[in-house]
Structure 1
């Protein structure tokens, strides 16, 4: 009698586990869509989820065994497919200004938005450069290449006057502040002050200057402002003091603008990409030139403390940085497109494998553990330590 009574009990536990697995898989898929802002939670969504919850109990009780489980699994699939997704706006004749289109994200984005039907104003640093020429050849008549150095007030003002004349009736739908420089990757003490200034000038002050100039046109269209930040601006990364500081300033500026411009129906999003191959590290020759500039401005005392072998090791890291970068830029282009066209865009997009989890190290782990993990992620070799440290 005891054996007969145990068997139904075991079946109940077994199918309870299967139902739990199915529910967890469905819940995980919904949570992922919510995090990506690709699911709209409204009355319809709540009704579908509540109906599914009731249906689980009915299937478990009224149709015991695999028949009920199969019916519940099909209901999960149908419910997931019928949940309302993100609403996107029509491109129509929307116009977007993009900075830094000579190469990288800006270059690829100009082509991508042109194909989507946007009127694209692609700002380049070198009007006669290969990047600008490629855009002129491959783009449609809607893609217009402009000389735009974000550190030049005169060029920003000239571009504004041109776009205001062309878009006086509609305004400017979007500005994508993409132009940026990395300078050199090395310990904060080794980087000359002019490299800090250069990063701030392009990555932050250039964005501020251009944004302030074009906000009246964006406000007229009730449009979008999209700023490209970096994970190095969200968490401390050894070697990226100049670049990370400028991107951290940009991230804070973007978040404040998002709050202030909401009353004007202007949406602000930041894009925080992972490691993609954009050309920001420059060529090997440019990297070597930056290394020489660092060496020339170091004091003899600092050179002695760090040692020339340690300082030169940063020059040799160029191939490693390039090897670890992803060539497919499409995830970034897709997220920028969502920021421009989603009816309710996310404040932050993080394209790139696992890039979203990296800042969590800094925020939720003890500093000793997060610092250790960051060091392990970025170090090149165990012997890469300054001479002064070896001697102690």
Structure 2
């Protein structure tokens, strides 16, 4: 009996493995729009998909980031400047995308742009600190999605939203974990709504990876900056010993984070090119 059940489990996973590795056809004709391509996951994914022969439309926050990316890729890849916190920038980028994809529509939308600072214990922060992160990681992502969905729907394509393991477990206070939890809920509701139009929605949940945004010295600087802004009362409540212990833990995390960003971008690529991609 147990051997029979074990066989069924193995067969199920083999079939699932085979099914998820079926790749969609004509990838060279498909357009993918990626936000946050100056560095990190977005930059690597843009280069990865370009090497696959796909038509990459890469959104960068700075012209410097866009130029560096163009210098590392083929002539197929095109860049646009995008600030996801500004409606006029999103509208302009949407029009730019529509002009390029035409009647084919947009096969892939990858919402990757994000920030993690200001962050720290909640009592060190104010409303504006929370809003700064939410405006980029959640509200900006939602506005980009709402503008791009008509083009994605036309292609019966994919939406890939980058959340985080911290969207499930809050490691620290501030807007980051809140924003990533919001990304997951928005993505779940979007998946149900767009399934009627043949559009698939996937969530990517990276753990702790070494990027420009998350390397240990950056986190230490973030926390020190917030500590410096706190009131005298808050400093008295927490004390210098708490700050020293907190910074020690944060610095130690850098030794345990992965440098293999392909672990994440391979999941993104799977969500875009698999005939039957995993949802998370």
Q: Is TM-score (shorter-chain normalized) higher than 0.5?
A: yes
Spell out the pairing of 1:1-392 with structure 2 (5 A cutoff): 20=3, 24=6, 29-33=10-14, 37-40=16-19, 86-90=21-25, 91-129=27-65, 132-237=66-171, 239-281=172-214, 284=217, 287=219, 289-348=221-280
Separation of aligned partners in 1, 2:129 and 2:101: 37
Give the drift of 1:240: 4.2
Alpha-carbon distance in 1 for matches of 2:128, 2:209: 26
Question: Is the 8 Å Cα contact of residues 216 and 252 (structure 2) preserved in structure 1?
Answer: no
In 2, Cα distance between equivalents of 1:169 and 1:133: 28
Please state how far the C-alpha of 1:134 moved relative to its aligned partner.
3.0
Shift of 1:255: 0.3
Residue 235 to residue 204, structure 1, CA distance change in 2 (3 Å): same
Higher relative contact order (CA 8 A, sep 6+): 2
Aligned to 1:364: none
Q: Please state how far the C-alpha of 1:280 moved relative to its aligned partner.
A: 1.9
**Distance verdict in 2 for CA 1:144–1:274, change over 3 Å:** same
For residues 289 and 274 of structure 1, the distance between their equivalents in structure 2, rounded to whole angstroms, comes to 21
CA contact (8 A) 1:185 1:314 kept: no
Q: Greater Rg, structure 1 or structure 2?
A: 1
Deviations 1:50-108 (A, max 9, x none): xxxxxxxxxxxxxxxxxxxxxxxxxxxxxxxxxxx642202131000101111111011
Contact 1:119 1:143 in 2 (8 A): yes
Q: Report the RMSD for the aligned CA atoms in angstroms.
A: 2.3
**Aligned counterparts of 1:330 and 1:277: Cα–Cα separation in 2:** 12
Find the aligned partners of 1:86 and 1:128 in 2 and give their Cα distance.
Answer: 36
Residues 292/331 of structure 1: CA separation in 2 closer, same or farther (3 Å cut): closer
> What SS is found at the alignment partner of 2:131?
helix
Q: Contact between 1:148 and 1:155, CA under 8 Å: does it hold in 2?
A: yes
Q: Across the two proteins, how many residue pairs are aligned to each other?
A: 279
Q: Relative to structure 1, is the Cα distance of residues 30 and 190 closer, same or farther in structure 2, using a 3 angstrom cutoff?
A: farther
> For residues 292 and 277 of structure 1, do their structure 2 counterparts lie closer, same or farther at Cα, with a shift above 3 Å needed?
closer
Structure 1 residue 192: Cα displacement: 3.3
Deviation at 1:138, TM superposition (A): 1.6
Change (3 A) 1:322 1:33: farther
Structure 1 runs of 4+ off > 4 angstroms?
26-29, 31-34, 286-289
Consecutive unaligned residues in structure 1, runs of 5 or more? 1-15, 41-84, 349-392
Helix, strand or coil at the partner of 1:180: coil
Residue 192 of structure 1 contacts residue 297 of structure 1 at CA under 8 Å; is this kept in 2?
no
Other structure's SS at 2:63 match: coil
Is 1:176–1:226's contact at 8 Å kept on the other side of the alignment?
yes
Q: Structure 2 unaligned runs (5+)?
A: none
In structure 1, distance between residues paired with 2:161 and 2:8: 32
Cα shift at 1:207: 0.4
Q: Return the alpha-carbon distance in structure 2 between the equivalents of residues 283 and 320 of structure 1.
A: 7
